[in-house]
């Protein structure tokens, strides 16, 4: 009797199939049964292989799907990361641009402020402003009987048509009574100590004037004598303030009473001798050799200044301060002395 040849059982499902087939066959030949068992085993293994293949396919499909999902997720994250990075870079770029613009704006404001500060600052000297040329003449027609130097009260009395009046001293006929009468310069006032009337000048140093434009180039018109604000003299000078002078010099009045003229000039400090005119009276004056501008009484009406030895007895150890004098007859000025 032949033994039944059983194929290797790969699984419980294969064994169950073989038992069911054996019961259904009944008393059949061993050979036929063996053949059928072999076929069934083959089919069963084929089925298992198919199932395994299916499971493998499903697993592969699942893994593929998972991989695609992972890639999709990574792609999404990458996209979001890229967008986030671009957004951050864009924000930083915007902030950087705004910061740069702000810095440039502040720099421009600082520059403008600096330029505004530089435009506003001026030199140490005061700007006297513009001066305009006086109107030519004062409409005097002249033709009067009086000659230049003659005493007058009104311009119509003068042949020249100009009567120059000095307060307290009266008037005299002359070439002019204002700068506008002189096309090439200013009008020098009459000298009360001689018989000449007012004359036109070329704007030279010490020439009489009432306007800066009446003085020659480089000179300016300023007051050089003042008697109580009533009797005044102005002349063309080289300066109006100390800041216009070289170091070691100062802008001081140099006035000569006999010629009734003067100017402001840059002179060495301490160079004015005693008896020289100075202003203001009764104070220290570095232009005077003594350092003092002593007050001088004029007819009990006003004071003028003259460089002197003292202002009071305190300046004269063991002595007395004697005031100076202004001699209106001889046009001489003397300063105070210690006695």
Coil/strand/helix, residue 189: coil
Q: Checking DSSP bridges between strand 187-188 and strand 199-200, what pairing results, if any? A: antiparallel
| Strands (DSSP E) found in 21-175 | 151-152, 163-166, 170-173
* Res 171 pLDDT > 60: yes
* Res 17 pLDDT > 70: no
Q: How far apart are CA 231 and CA 42, in angstroms?
A: 151
Q: How far apart are CA 299 and CA 320, in angstroms?
A: 22
Q: pLDDT tens, 217-246?
A: 999 999 999 888 888 999 999 999 999 999
Mean pLDDT value across the chain = 73
The residue-averaged pLDDT of 177-195 equals: 92
Q: How far apart are CA 294 and CA 323, in angstroms?
A: 7
CA dihedral for 146, 151, 155, 161, sign (positive or negative): positive
pLDDT-derived band at 161, boundaries 50, 70, 90: very high
pLDDT value at residue 151: 95
Give me the residue label for tokens 């210690």.
Answer: 338
pLDDT value at residue 175: 96
Q: How far apart are CA 59 and CA 45, in angstroms?
A: 20
Asked if residue 227 belongs to a domain, the reply is: yes
Which domain, by its residues, includes 268?
204-338
> In sequence order, what are the beta bridge partners of 255?
262
The residue-averaged pLDDT of 326-331 equals: 87
Q: pLDDT tens, 188-202?
A: 999 988 878 999 999
Q: Output the six-digit token pair for 339.
A: 């006695």
pLDDT-derived band at 63, boundaries 50, 70, 90: very low
* Res 309 pLDDT > 80: yes
Asked if residue 64 belongs to a domain, the reply is: no
Q: How far apart are CA 169 and CA 151, in angstroms?
A: 10
Residue 82 backbone dihedrals phi, psi, to 5 degrees: -65, -45
Contact of 306 with 278, CB cutoff 8 Å: yes
From the list 164, 117, 163, 169, the residue with the least C-alpha distance to 141 is 163
For the ranges 93-102, 108-117, 293-302, the one whose mean pLDDT is highest: 293-302
Share of the chain residues as helix, strand and coil, in percent rounded to the nearest 5 = 35, 20, 40
Contact of 324 with 302, CB cutoff 8 Å: no
Q: How far apart are CA 98 and CA 108, in angstroms?
A: 15
Q: Output the six-digit token pair for 127.
A: 């700007």
Asked if residue 272 belongs to a domain, the reply is: yes
Asked if residue 47 belongs to a domain, the reply is: no
From the list 294, 235, 245, 298, the residue with the least C-alpha distance to 267 is 245
Asked if residue 110 belongs to a domain, the reply is: no
Asked if residue 122 belongs to a domain, the reply is: no
pLDDT value at residue 133: 57
Contact of 186 with 202, CB cutoff 8 Å: no
Q: Provide the number of structural domains found in the chain.
A: 1
pLDDT value at residue 167: 86
pLDDT-derived band at 124, boundaries 50, 70, 90: low
Q: Output the six-digit token pair for 80.
A: 């979001």
Asked if residue 263 belongs to a domain, the reply is: yes
The residue-averaged pLDDT of 98-104 equals: 45
Verdict on whether the full-model pTM lies above 0.95 = no
Q: What is the DSSP string of 185-236?
A: S-EEPPPTTSS---EE--S-TT-B-SSGGGSPTT-EEEEEEEETTTEEEEEE
* Res 18 pLDDT > 80: no
**Which residues, 6+ apart, have CB-to-CB distance to 90 below 8 Å?**
none
Q: Output the six-digit token pair for 286.
A: 């570095």
Give me the residue label for tokens 């019961």.
Answer: 23
Q: By percentage, how much of the chain surpasses pLDDT 90?
A: 48
* Res 322 pLDDT > 60: yes
Q: Output the six-digit token pair for 156.
A: 């119509």
Q: Give per-residue burial for 163-200: e unless 16+ CB within 10 Å, then b.
A: bbebeeeebbbbbbbbbbbbeebbbbbbbeeeeebbbb
pLDDT value at residue 152: 95
pLDDT value at residue 136: 60
pLDDT-derived band at 329, boundaries 50, 70, 90: confident
CB atoms within 10 A of CB 216: 15
Asked if residue 240 belongs to a domain, the reply is: yes
pLDDT-derived band at 103, boundaries 50, 70, 90: very low
């Amino acid at each position: 009797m032949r033994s039944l040849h059983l194929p290797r059982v790969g699984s419980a499902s294969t064994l169950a199939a073989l038992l069911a087939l054996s019961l259904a066959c009944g008393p059949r030949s061993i050979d036929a049964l063996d053949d059928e068992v072999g076929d069934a085993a083959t089919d069963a293994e084929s089925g298992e292989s198919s199932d395994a293949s299916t499971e493998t396919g499903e697993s592969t499909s699942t893994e593929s799907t998972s991989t695609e999902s992972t890639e999709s997720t990574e792609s999404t994250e990458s996209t979001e990361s890229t967008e986030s990075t671009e957004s951050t870079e864009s924000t930083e770029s915007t902030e950087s641009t705004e910061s740069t613009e702000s810095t440039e704006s502040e720099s421009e404001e600082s520059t403008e402020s600096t330029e505004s500060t530089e435009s506003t600052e001026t030199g140490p000297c005061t700007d006297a402003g513009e001066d305009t040329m006086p109107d030519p003449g004062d409409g005097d027609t002249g033709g009067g009987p009086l000659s230049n130097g003659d005493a007058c009260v009104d311009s119509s009395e003068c042949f020249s048509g100009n009567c120059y009046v000095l307060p307290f001293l009266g008037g005299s006929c002359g070439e002019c009574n204002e700068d506008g009468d002189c096309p090439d310069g200013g009008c020098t006032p009459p000298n009360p100590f001689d018989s000449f009337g007012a004359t036109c000048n070329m704007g030279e140093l010490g020439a009489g004037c009432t306007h800066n434009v009446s003085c020659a180039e480089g000179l300016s018109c300023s007051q050089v004598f003042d008697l109580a604000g009533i009797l005044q003299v102005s002349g063309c000078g080289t300066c109006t303030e100390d800041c216009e002078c070289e170091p070691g010099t100062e802008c001081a009045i140099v006035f000569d009473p006999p010629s009734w003229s003067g100017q402001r000039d840059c002179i060495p400090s301490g160079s004015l001798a005693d008896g020289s005119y100075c202003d203001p009276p009764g104070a220290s004056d570095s232009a005077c050799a003594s350092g003092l501008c002593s007050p001088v009484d004029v007819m009990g009406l006003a004071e003028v200044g003259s460089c002197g030895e003292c202002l009071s007895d305190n300046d004269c150890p063991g002595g007395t301060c004697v005031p100076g004098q202004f001699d209106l007859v001889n046009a001489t000025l003397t300063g105070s002395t210690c006695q």
